[in-house]
Amino acid sequence: MKRVLMIVGLGVLAYVAAQIYSLSSNLDRVRSEDPLVWSEEIAAFANAAPGPSNALLFVGSSSIRRWVDLAEHMAPIPVINRGFGGSKIGDVIYHSEVLFQAESPLAIVIFVGTNDITPGSSKSLGVMVEAFEQMMDGVRRQHPETPVYYIAITPSPLRWEVWDEAQAINDAISDLAKGMANTYVIDTGDQLMSAGVPDDNNYVFDRLHLSEQGYAIWAKIIRSRIFSDLNL
């Protein structure tokens, strides 16, 4: 029994060590404002198979990339996952031609912005609103009428001190989206919190990324909204 517990413990330590290494190795790129730091990931998307037609196209930062059960959560509708980074909204704008390339997607789901609003290094509301407009211009060049769902910036224990700033940006983007055709905002913040603060059970050890429980909450909200809107 002790041997089994030791093996399990070593496995857990190895997993945590791998996650810490991954986070630390990406930290410089996450902090960078140069979209070319993600060239390797973007090249991989460009060189990959185009993905199925009539799919749900998910684009954004690491919370999209780490959504390992995305296909299962959106079944039977096929999905294309183009999450990368650590990315910021400027990275999505710069690489939009590759990121949003897809054949007749049923809808496009975007989650980006959390890495732009961090303690000690937050972009202003005006900058984020302008960036959102630029990002949508990139989307509409390829998909003029496809429904676009922007997942609002989410709260997290790690970045709780900048939540008021994030909420103000969410509100401004929501107001902006109301004037854009087929553009919607999905707010999941309240469901990720308990007693007015982020629920630790919804986040992994880094206190930033969603846990399995957190993704289950995301899946329920996002799937329900999109499937209802599109009569799927």
CA distance 177 to 197: 27
Residue 144 sits at φ, ψ, to 5 deg, of -60, -30
Q: So what's the pLDDT on residue 11?
A: 46
**CA distances to 15, 19, 27, 100 from 22, in Å:** 11, 5, 9, 26
Per the structure block, which two tokens stand in for 5? 């517990």
CATH of 32-229, one of 3.40.50.1700, 3.90.1280.10, 3.30.420.40, 3.40.50.1110: 3.40.50.1110
Question: What's this model's pTM, rounded to 2 decimal places?
Answer: 0.88
Angle at 93 between CA 77 and CA 52, to 5 degrees: 20
Tell me, what's the pLDDT at 23?
47
**Do residues 175 and 165 make contact, with C-beta atoms less than 8 angstroms apart?**
no
Contacts of 195-203 spanning 24+ positions with Cβ under 8 A: 197/155, 197/157, 197/160, 198/155, 198/156, 198/157, 198/160, 200/157, 203/156, 203/157
Strand partners, 107: 56
Residue 15: per-residue pLDDT: 41
Contact 122, 162 (CB under 8 A): yes
pLDDT of residue 220: 98
pLDDT in the model for residue 121: 86
Residue-wise pLDDT for 41-76, tens only, equals 999 999 998 899 999 999 999 999 999 999 999 999
- How confident is the model at residue 38, as a pLDDT? 86
User: Of 29-38, 49-58, 78-87, which gets the smallest average pLDDT?
Assistant: 29-38
pLDDT in tens, 93-125: 999 999 999 999 999 999 999 999 999 889 999
Structure tokens at 12: 């857990």
Average pLDDT score over the chain: 90
Percent of the chain with pLDDT over 70: 86
CA distance 61 to 172: 20
Whether 18 has a pLDDT exceeding 80, the answer reads no
Residue 216 burial (C-beta neighbours within 10 Å; 0-12, 13-18, 19+): middle
pLDDT, one tens digit per residue, over 188-197 is 999 999 999 9
Predicted confidence at residue 137, as pLDDT, reads: 98
Q: Predicted confidence band at 12 (pLDDT cuts at 50, 70, 90)?
A: very low
**Residue scoring higher pLDDT (108 or 16):** 108
User: What residues are paired with 186 via a beta bridge?
Assistant: 151
Alpha-carbon distance of 224 to 219, in angstroms, equals 8
For residue 21, name the pLDDT band (cuts at 50, 70, 90): very low
Answer for the pair 213, 201: CB distance below 8 angstroms, yes or no: yes
